[in-house]
Amino acid sequence: MEKIDVRAVFSKSGRAVFISHLDLQRTMQRALKRSGLPVWYSQGFNPHIYLNFPLALSLGISSRTEFMDFSVIEEIDFEKARERLDSVMPDGISVTELAKPVHKNQDIASAEYEMKFYGAAGEIFKALERMMSMETIEAEKHSKSKGIVTVDIRPHIEILNTEVCGDHLALTVRLPAGGALNINANVFADAFSRVSGIDFENVCIERTKILCKSGEKFI
């Protein structure tokens, strides 16, 4: 049977940010089933729709560019298929592109986030400057094998932009992502809150880019 790999790019926002990664897999399988696209099923006693997510997204974070790989058993028109898939997605998930996969999961090196820290924006900005002037920033990180571990995240934080807005500080930050070293945006936000001693009124995080080692956008 012919098997053609397809990479879907989608956004996740609104109420959909509360869908966990595990639940997202089930949600996507059902969406693909509803779409009626000629999807490829894993072979074996209990066939199911094959899915691969190159990079998981944490609960509570929205994203402009998420990726999901599946396969089809015949050539499809990407734009028509995208429309069809998008039309069966639940509220908050929207399929923006279908493409032939170029990169591999292991190529993913970093991700960019736009974060909003709500409260007294000026003070938050100063606290950020203070934190970034420190030599080390200890942060707690969940590790699959070792449980909670403390790591120094300072060398891995790249602040790309900051902007003091009325009731919040807007921040663009790049953090390592992928198999080799992954620093979750929540880990950064928690560390910021702990180091600064500020209990933010609210924190909004959106993933905006997933990048390869080469610096080019993952696709």
Partner 1 sequence: MLKEQIENILLKVRNPSRYIGGELNSVVKDKNKVDVRFAFCFPDSYDVGMSHLGMKILYSLKNKRENFWCERVFAPWEDMEALMRENNIPLYALESLDPIREFDFIGFTVQYELCYTNILNMLDLAGLPVKAKDRTEDMPVVVAGGPCVCNPEPLVDFIDLFILGEGEEVNLELMDLYAGMKKRGCSKREFLAEAAKIEGIYVPSFYDVSYNNDGTVAAVLPNHPNATAKIRKRIIKDLDSIYYPESFVVPYCEIVHDRAVVEVLRGCIRGCRFCQAGFIYRPLREKSSETICSQTRSLCESTGYEEVSLSSLSTSDLSSIDETLIKLSEYTDGEKINLSLPSMRIDRFSNELMERLKAIRKSGLTFAPEAGTQRLRDVINKNITEDEIMRACRIAFEGGYTSVKLYFMMGLPTETDEDIIGIAELAEKIVDLYYQNPNRPKGRHVSISVSCATFVPKPFTPFEFEPQASAEEIDRRQKLLLGSIRSKKRINVSWHNYKVSILEAVLAKGDRRLGEVIYEAWKSGCKFDSWSEFYRYELWVKAFEKAGLDMDFYAYRKRSYDEVMPWQHLDYYISREFLIREHKKALNAETTPNCREKCSGCGISGVMGGACFGKD
**Residues of this chain that bind partner 1 (CB under 8 A):** 14-16, 18-20, 23-24, 26-27, 29-34, 41, 46-48, 59-60, 88, 90-92, 202
- Shorter beta-carbon distance to partner 1: residue 30 or 130: 30
**Dist. CA 43–CA 50, nearest whole Å:** 9
- Shorter beta-carbon distance to partner 1: residue 30 or 213: 30
Compute the least distance from the CB of residue 31 to partner 1, in Å. 6
Whether 60 and 15 have beta carbons less than 8 Å apart is answered as no
Q: Are strands 62-72 and 202-212 parallel, antiparallel or unpaired?
A: parallel
**Dist. CA 189–CA 114, nearest whole Å:** 11
- Shorter beta-carbon distance to partner 1: residue 28 or 211: 28
Element (H, E) at 206: strand 202-212
- Shorter beta-carbon distance to partner 1: residue 174 or 207: 207
Residue 100: which residues within 8 A CB-CB, separation 6 or more?
Answer: 5, 6, 7
Compute the least distance from the CB of residue 140 to partner 1, in Å. 16
Angle, alpha carbons 8-13-19 (nearest 5°): 85
Compute the least distance from the CB of residue 77 to partner 1, in Å. 22
The number of beta carbons lying within 10 Å of the beta carbon of residue 104 is 10
Compute the least distance from the CB of residue 175 to partner 1, in Å. 19
- Shorter beta-carbon distance to partner 1: residue 136 or 202: 202
Compute the least distance from the CB of residue 30 to partner 1, in Å. 3
Range list of H helices, 151-204 = 185-196
- Shorter beta-carbon distance to partner 1: residue 50 or 105: 50
Q: At what angle do helices 185-196 and 121-132 cross, to 10 degrees?
A: 100
Compute the least distance from the CB of residue 29 to partner 1, in Å. 7
